[in-house]
Amino acid sequence: MSTVGERLERIPFGRFHIGLLLIGGTGYAFDGLDSAIIAFVLPVLGHLWSLDAVHVGMIGSATYVGFFWGAMFAGLVGDRIGRRPVMMWALALFCFASLVSAVMVDFGSFIICRIAAGIGTGAESAIVAPFLAEFAATRYRGAFSSVLAGFFSLGFLGAAALGYLLVPVQPYGWRLALALTAAPVVLLLWWRRVLPESPRWLESVGRSGESALILDHIEARARASGHDIPFTPLNKVSVDRVKQAKPSLSEQFMGLWAPAQRRATAVSWAVWLSITFAYYAIFTWIPSLLMARGMTMSHSFAFSIAIYAAQLPGYLSAAAAVEFLGRRATISLYLAASAVGAFALGEAGSTSMLLVEAVILAFCLSGAYSGVYAYTPELFPTRLRATGNGTASAVGRIGAIISPTLVGWLIPRTGFLGVLVLISAALFFGMITVVLFGPRTEGRSLESIDTKQAGRADDDADSALELRSPS
């Protein structure tokens, strides 16, 4: 294990890590707020601009079109220039575009703003998990990442509250709700002051001196809290900045499909696509589904608060399960329960049963997402961690792009029952993929993952040379 890895592994969970959770978690909360608020705006915009179901679905998909490109490039860029600057610029773009979208007066301009906001949201969301996981020791990394993802649920709950309190109250309530999603711009000042770059990434690009200084600061804070952590002699780390040749973006992307990495890449793409398709198909249309059952807009938004509130215990329960049961077992169990819950939701015969089934489904889907957020960064070595996590998140957003519009197209033809059967099938696909092909990552340090991947790559290269050599 590298010196950086050894030093991070011996640092106990403390105030520094709590600060990281608040920083990254607050960003995730506003990502969730921006993603969820559109569900409460859709019924108003559909009436205001006389839109059919397909065009309403296009608004629901627009954010995720931007999310796809933001997540894709955030990972590629984050492995080249660092995690921290990508996180900062992504937040700035998201805030600006969200604010501008609140004053748009027609369908076309609103779509453009939502795509731009999605680019910022996607970039920030894709970089946070691999970035902050690199600060955590093996013994608590899974729970740390799962709790971090749980802040999404606070954003969804906030969106439900804004939707209930603002959107139905006055004609311009939807504009005020969207404008409030731009509030995290104030986080830029906080993040710029307190958020360090990842020591593991700095070491991977030859900037060991900078990495050592950050670790000195983290260890000093741990000692100040009463923990006995030995000092690392200066001669154990290089203080020189070494320039290393960087691969091209295409080489970086193709590294995900090298023989040593392709299994992890395929599994991460499949499970992200499965769960994201289901998640956004359901939560984008939940208020509309409730209104179709005869509720008023205000009542449907109030019920949505209860449904979104169920996400938080889902995330937290999975945060415990990933360390107790393991990543793959946790994801599989919650995906299976979600698939059953989606089918049961379609069979609900009364409004009360509909609410109960929706709450259970929200709990299970959030638990599955919690496991995925802990699992994905562990599948990739440091040099490809942001790229792997970003591309998996981006592929998942293809499901978020397709599902709101597809649901809008299917509802008149199959009803909500047909839609929910499709969602259930998608979730079973994700579960089977993880069970059959998911690599084991729990109990392994990030450095051991790097070493194992490097060993596989060397073995593959040696085998290829042997095949080419004349006998």
Query: Quick one: CA torsion of 45, 48, 49, 54, rounded to 10 degrees?
Result: 40
Q: Where do the H-state alpha helices sit in 225-326? A: 249-254, 262-292, 297-309, 311-324
3-state secondary structure of 49: coil
Q: Which amino acid, 276? A: T
Enter the pTM of the model.
Answer: 0.81
> Is the domain defined by 3-464 classed in CATH 1.20.1250.20?
yes
Structural domain boundaries in the chain: 3-464
CB 93 within 8 A of CB 41: no
- The distance from CA 14 to its chain's CA centroid, rounded to whole angstroms, is 24
Q: Give pLDDT tens digits along the chain (471 positions).
A: 558 888 998 999 999 999 999 888 888 888 888 878 887 888 888 888 988 877 887 887 788 889 899 999 998 899 989 999 998 888 889 889 988 999 998 998 999 999 999 999 899 888 988 999 999 998 899 899 999 988 988 888 888 888 878 887 778 888 988 888 887 767 766 776 788 999 999 988 888 889 999 999 999 999 988 888 877 765 444 444 444 556 777 778 888 899 989 999 999 999 999 999 988 788 767 666 666 666 655 566 667 777 778 888 999 999 999 988 999 999 999 999 999 988 887 776 677 777 888 889 889 999 999 999 999 999 999 888 999 999 999 998 888 888 877 887 887 888 777 888 888 999 999 999 999 999 988 877 777 766 665 555 444 433 333 334 443
DSSP string covering 366-417, please? HHHHHHHHHHGGGGS-GGGHHHHHHHHHHHHHHHHHHHHHHHHHHHHHHHHH
CB 385 within 8 A of CB 203: no
Report d(CA 300, CA 306) in Å as an integer: 10
Token pair in block for residue 411: 């509802």
